[in-house]
Structure 1
Amino acid sequence: MSIASRYLTATALVAAFATTPALAQDWFPYEVEVWDPPFDMASPRTTTDYTPLEKAKEAYEICVSFPHMKDAYWLGVDYGVTEEAKRQGVKLQVVEAGGYTELQKQISQIEDCVAAGADAVIIGAISYDGLNNLVAEIRGKDIPVIDVINGMSSPELSAKSLVSFGEMGSKTGAYLAELHPAGSDAVKVAWFPGPAGAGWVEAGNTGFQEAIKDSAVEVVETKYGDTGKEAQSALIEDTLGAHPDLDYVVGTAVTAEAAIPILRSRGLTDQIKVLSYYYTPGVHQGIRRGQILAAPTDSTVIQGRIAVDQAVRILEGEDYLKHVGPAIFVVTSESVNDFDTSSTLAPDGFRPVFRVE
């Protein structure tokens, strides 16, 4: 029996015999998808309920690196990794590079973490290929490296806790294509996939474009850019100037959030609709208010929690799933009030946590 099979069997037994009240008070078991063979997003997937370890045997030192903490998406990941570190009793250091242009800073920060004695490293990568040499160097020291959220191409990774951003883009495109099928009146879309070169962006772009290709949806402009609000606002303003007859603005959560006041100020709220291809508190609020049509969720908090559990399992020689991510689903105005936000959003008032002792 493979490690994955043994893990799935153990998880099923835990889920079957654990007391319901205890589970109801925590985040698990949580429905996830497992890729096998791992590290290939095209691999077949199976669905299971993920149950983490109850507690780590030692207070391991885990280093977590994020591209930035400029939007609430990464705040949700921060909440996930730091809360799971507290629950399992491990130490955790979070560093953030400041933006998707800061690859060298991210590399330097991770090197400093490792030099300071990290037992495991969790990376939300700025670049799909740009950290591969660093991953090889860290793995050469027998230190586990977990790929969280964004995706890296290194075959030397220890595990991945992430979803297919191609599927995130695809689900967004499919939602739009269903509204405007082939043969209906054409609609014009401006598409803002995020920072060029990031693995999740390239995957999201491919998924979105594939999903709309046989529909009445026409992408009249594609603009890449950092996921800071100022950068996305500038891209939206430029696009509206060039395409006053747009029907949709579709893109990152920051794009969607930034579009709302811009469209309002230009009197275009009724003309141009907004879609996001991932989820944040601002997107949640926008959907509830009818300002954003829909967005898929990748259960950001859960991805962070699973990455910490993977790191602890590897350090303790326990069975673990090498490539796992929460099941993706789309939240709309019809379903938003039934959506459990604790899987995806940090609690109201949560501030970034950079250190867990």
Structure 2
Amino acid sequence: MFVLRSFGKHSAVLKGVAAATLIGLALACTAAQAETDRLLGLILPIKAEKPFKIGVTVVHLNDDFYKGIVYGIEDEAKRSNVQVVQVSVAGGYGNVREQFAQLDAFKTIGVQVAVLAPAAYDGFDPIIQSLKAAGIKVASVGIPVNSKNVDFGVLQDDRSIGAVLADQICKSGPGQKIVATVPGPAGAEWARLRYVAFTDESKKCPSMKVIPGAFGGGLGLQEGMTQTSDILLRDPDVNFIYTPEISLGMGAAQAVKQQNRKVQVISSAMVREAAPLLKDGQILAVVSEPGIIMGRLIVQYAIREMEGKPMPNLQPASAQGLAYPHFDVPSRLITRENVDSHPFNIYEIPPADWQMPAVQ
């Protein structure tokens, strides 16, 4: 702490110098805090000593989750002396051939780190092996992939998401909870893990009864509306709907409203459009899926991987059934009580003026 004393005619000057020093320190602390805030203190940000190139391929860009990942990677790369040379899009879950071709193309454009959000859990090991043989490091982001040849991943704990959602319904109040489920697309490992954990956790709650659902269909509002409408027509006792992600959840909420039922939806992957539905009780809770932070962490871990530096906080291979080291970004449960204070711009939604990079 600075103490200002009187030094005659030089006092004002000295006070000015001390004040300037205090302001400089305050600004430095604010800048350091901002650096920490963008990564939530999960890792200390560093810059690459030598620039390198990253290629990215994601499932689609239809929602804020994958847009957030791409934005996080791109923005963190600019801050960190790293170049994103290509962003590719598979076009949807199950489009593995398209993604194989995109990964293969990385070999010809000088990519040194390939970042993969896979369109399916299985089948990627041969192409990942070929990338490794070409000297390219491979990172998985957002959702898991079944390959022991991945160098590292930045993911989220899908089992925890499912369990937290079940617990939230259990604690929602007195009375019987009859929960219908819209499990999500077939072949999506993240959806399966969430559903299994949700149903397992529900067994610990005597007031909960979960009606099994069938995997299938795609994602989106219309899919959620269609499946939920059928459920509500079949079962008049349902008072909760589980969906594994928010586009299905928003569609489910719309179906509930159309049928004028007292049913609450619970889901994952927060979007701004869900905020009013949380406030009026149509949606009970949503788990935030911080795609922006995942993208930033991918770049930070890629720098450390390229430079042979320590990789802090990675869980070892075999943890949670995965065959490669990974970091699970902590999730945040969004409810009516905290939705107004949720920092969308840090967690999952890119700035309004952000321009999506050219994709292939």
Tell me whether the two structures share a fold, i.e. TM-score over 0.5. Answer: yes
- Structure 2 match to 1:133: 126
Q: Once superposed, what is the RMSD of the aligned Cα atoms?
A: 2.4
Give the structure with higher Rg (CA).
Answer: 2
Q: Secondary structure at the match of 1:179?
A: coil
Deviation at 1:281, TM superposition (A): 2.7
Q: Supply the AA of the counterpart residue of 2:202.
A: I
Conserved 8 A contact 2:107-2:134: no
Higher mean displacement: 154-163 or 22-31: 22-31
- Summarize the alignment of residues 69-218 of structure 1 with structure 2, pairs less than 5 Å apart: 69-92=61-84, 93-179=86-172, 185-215=175-205, 216-218=207-209
Query: Structure 2: any 5+ residue segments left out of the alignment?
Result: 1-26, 315-325
- Structure 1 match to 2:321: none
1:287 is aligned, of 256, 265, 278, to 278
| 1:84-131 deviations in Å (ceiling 9; x for gaps) | 122113221211111112121112112122332211111111222221
1:241 is aligned, of 230, 233, 239, to 233
TM-score (norm 2): 0.80
The CA distance in 1 between the partners of 2:170 and 2:282, in whole Å, is: 19
Q: Are 1:274 and 2:265 counterparts? A: yes
Q: Do the aligned partners of residues 325 and 350 (structure 1) sit closer, same or farther apart at CA in structure 2, a change above 3 Å counting?
A: farther
Deviation at 1:142, TM superposition (A): 2.3
1:255 is aligned, of 242, 248, 263, to 248
Q: Do the aligned partners of residues 196 and 331 (structure 1) sit closer, same or farther apart at CA in structure 2, a change above 3 Å counting?
A: same
Higher mean displacement: 255-264 or 139-148: 255-264
How many aligned positions are there? 317
- Structure 1 match to 2:49: 57
The CA distance in 2 between the partners of 1:255 and 1:350, in whole Å, is: 27
Q: Do the aligned partners of residues 85 and 344 (structure 1) sit closer, same or farther apart at CA in structure 2, a change above 3 Å counting?
A: same
Q: Secondary structure at the match of 1:188?
A: strand
Deviation at 1:236, TM superposition (A): 2.2
- Structure 1 match to 2:339: 336
Q: Do the aligned partners of residues 112 and 241 (structure 1) sit closer, same or farther apart at CA in structure 2, a change above 3 Å counting?
A: farther
The CA distance in 1 between the partners of 2:353 and 2:189, in whole Å, is: 28
The CA distance in 2 between the partners of 1:174 and 1:30, in whole Å, is: 28
Conserved 8 A contact 2:180-2:211: yes
Q: Secondary structure at the match of 1:295?
A: strand
- Summarize the alignment of residues 43-54 of structure 1 with structure 2, pairs less than 5 Å apart: 49-53=42-46
Q: Do the aligned partners of residues 275 and 311 (structure 1) sit closer, same or farther apart at CA in structure 2, a change above 3 Å counting?
A: same
Conserved 8 A contact 1:168-1:278: no
Conserved 8 A contact 1:95-1:354: no
The CA distance in 2 between the partners of 1:196 and 1:23, in whole Å, is: 44
The CA distance in 2 between the partners of 1:130 and 1:280, in whole Å, is: 31
Conserved 8 A contact 1:221-1:239: no
The CA distance in 2 between the partners of 1:351 and 1:221, in whole Å, is: 41
Q: Supply the AA of the counterpart residue of 1:330.
A: L
Q: Secondary structure at the match of 1:333?
A: coil
Q: Do the aligned partners of residues 302 and 285 (structure 1) sit closer, same or farther apart at CA in structure 2, a change above 3 Å counting?
A: farther
The CA distance in 2 between the partners of 1:311 and 1:130, in whole Å, is: 24
Q: Do the aligned partners of residues 133 and 284 (structure 1) sit closer, same or farther apart at CA in structure 2, a change above 3 Å counting?
A: farther
The CA distance in 2 between the partners of 1:214 and 1:165, in whole Å, is: 19
Deviation at 1:175, TM superposition (A): 0.9
Deviation at 1:170, TM superposition (A): 0.8
2:329 is aligned, of 326, 330, 335, to 326
Conserved 8 A contact 1:150-1:198: no
Q: Do the aligned partners of residues 79 and 294 (structure 1) sit closer, same or farther apart at CA in structure 2, a change above 3 Å counting?
A: same
- Structure 1 match to 2:8: none
Q: Supply the AA of the counterpart residue of 1:170.
A: A
Conserved 8 A contact 2:38-2:293: no
Q: Do the aligned partners of residues 135 and 285 (structure 1) sit closer, same or farther apart at CA in structure 2, a change above 3 Å counting?
A: farther
Q: Are 1:301 and 2:304 counterparts? A: no
Q: Do the aligned partners of residues 326 and 20 (structure 1) sit closer, same or farther apart at CA in structure 2, a change above 3 Å counting?
A: farther
Query: Structure 1: any 5+ residue segments left out of the alignment?
Result: 1-17, 33-48
